[in-house]
Structure 1
């Protein structure tokens, strides 16, 4: 509940008023109109007054437990994050490349605007994969069923000692989660490589569709390798 400034200054309170100013012999002395406007005032105690102790600020969390006020605690209580997903460490980790991580996050959620998602808006458009021109691109096709993207992925998974290639993007993500446990340099590179492949394939897709710029897959590989070397 929020009391407007005029409301509490008209009752004799000011910026220096304390909790103790509304207590008489341990009982609250709310004005009648406040109680009528905010019935919850009588359901207290909202505050606890202890002798010889200065006023303090606490935060009552969503479980009703009083804690030391902190931005972190308030943020957690005001935002519902839901259960942890199995791929969260695949996307969010120290030393990640923020833009690549963001694009990977969108790809895992299936939220990138691939052509299969926008074809209903472009009924007369020629919506084919900008790399192979065989099918309408999708998350599954782009990562990594298309011949173009498959060449990029094969290059890196051979270097990383990964022996699987899956046609389904979600299966690949789930499988990859088991390969990035721990904090070794190998795990870090694997995560950077996956995010780099996804992000640069998405950038290359947009470059071809909207700017008529084309790079061969070897150029994309070279750029990803350079980026990872610089960042790590």
Structure 2
């Protein structure tokens, strides 16, 4: 692990900057203290000769009693760098110790380290997908969200994917020969019966056997509305319990009717809303009341 961390040194150099105070812990050539990258990268190895400082010199070694003590004033190659250095405040012991700053964003360096800010800068960024708010939202149940995410990305081991591995698997819910993600959610009569009977209790809901149309409809509902939150929670709970029932039948560990599945989904919804209500009593009281009203 330590060897792997050491390999990241060159990348990490771009994230920290030194704020010079006394100059004793800041390397003149190998630390970014001017906001221009490391000086050794700008001048090359020959820069130590032009400015008259050894490679391992610290910033406080570049000053004397009269101020900055570096060469390069008449150098045609590094005159601009010389002017930049001598324009900086002269390090002094009374200013305190040098401060290490970590990059939080473009031209935003702070004394604290943030793993979230660092990851946001090094990760590969892509455009936000339309279904993201259907999968990830504040009221989600993590295991429901994970299965929903797998379904959206078509990573569940449905029959069509298993055929790639040389295995034949029909839909265990309705005996359809070609089991796909689109069939399971919700072209399958079993799953659509469950989804339609539960979702139509919520105003503004739109049920369709077509998976893509269902996925496109949910983000278009009014953001933040309680009915929208309930429908997204219900969508994930339905996917989770349908997938669970499908696997139970596949492995011959059980068989339940659509009525029992609806009861399990309703129980999951009530338990989740009740837990949210306990955490933020006033915020989710209305959510619980709405669900009870829709399921009466």
CA shift in 2, pair 1:129/1:19, >3 Å: farther
Query: Partner of 1:159: helix, strand, or coil?
Result: coil
User: Does the aligned pair in 1 maintain the 2:140–2:233 contact within 8 Å?
Assistant: yes
**TM-score, normalising length from structure 1?**
0.75
Asked if residue 73 in structure 1 is aligned to residue 117 in structure 2, the reply is: yes
Query: Partner of 1:21: helix, strand, or coil?
Result: coil
Query: Partner of 2:137: helix, strand, or coil?
Result: coil
Residue 155 of structure 2: aligned partner = 111
Asked if residue 210 in structure 1 is aligned to residue 254 in structure 2, the reply is: no
In structure 2, what is the Cα distance between the partners aligned to 1:97 and 1:61?
31
Residue 192 of structure 1: aligned partner = 233
Query: Partner of 2:109: helix, strand, or coil?
Result: strand
In structure 2, what is the Cα distance between the partners aligned to 1:86 and 1:163?
18
Alignment equivalent of 2:199, drawn from 157, 166, 170: 157
Alignment equivalent of 1:58, drawn from 101, 119, 132: 101
Offset of 1:19 from its aligned partner?
Answer: 8.1
Residue 226 of structure 1: aligned partner = 267
- Please give the root-mean-square deviation of Cα atoms over the aligned residues, in Å: 3.1
Q: How many residues align?
A: 202
List gaps (5 residues or longer) in structure 2: 8-20, 31-37, 44-58, 60-87, 274-296
In structure 2, what is the Cα distance between the partners aligned to 1:88 and 1:120?
28
User: Does the aligned pair in 2 maintain the 1:197–1:224 contact within 8 Å?
Assistant: yes
Offset of 1:21 from its aligned partner?
Answer: 2.7
In structure 2, what is the Cα distance between the partners aligned to 1:118 and 1:41?
57
In structure 2, what is the Cα distance between the partners aligned to 1:137 and 1:74?
42
Per-residue CA deviations over 1:151-192 (Å, capped at 9, x if unaligned) read: 10111121013563334312210112112x322321221111
Alignment equivalent of 1:21, drawn from 16, 19, 24: 24
Offset of 1:22 from its aligned partner?
Answer: 6.0
Residue 87 of structure 1: aligned partner = 131
Per-residue CA deviations over 1:182-230 (Å, capped at 9, x if unaligned) read: 2232122111100001111111111111243111111111011011111
Query: Partner of 1:57: helix, strand, or coil?
Result: strand
Per-residue CA deviations over 1:19-49 (Å, capped at 9, x if unaligned) read: 82366xxx8266xxxxxxxxx651369x998
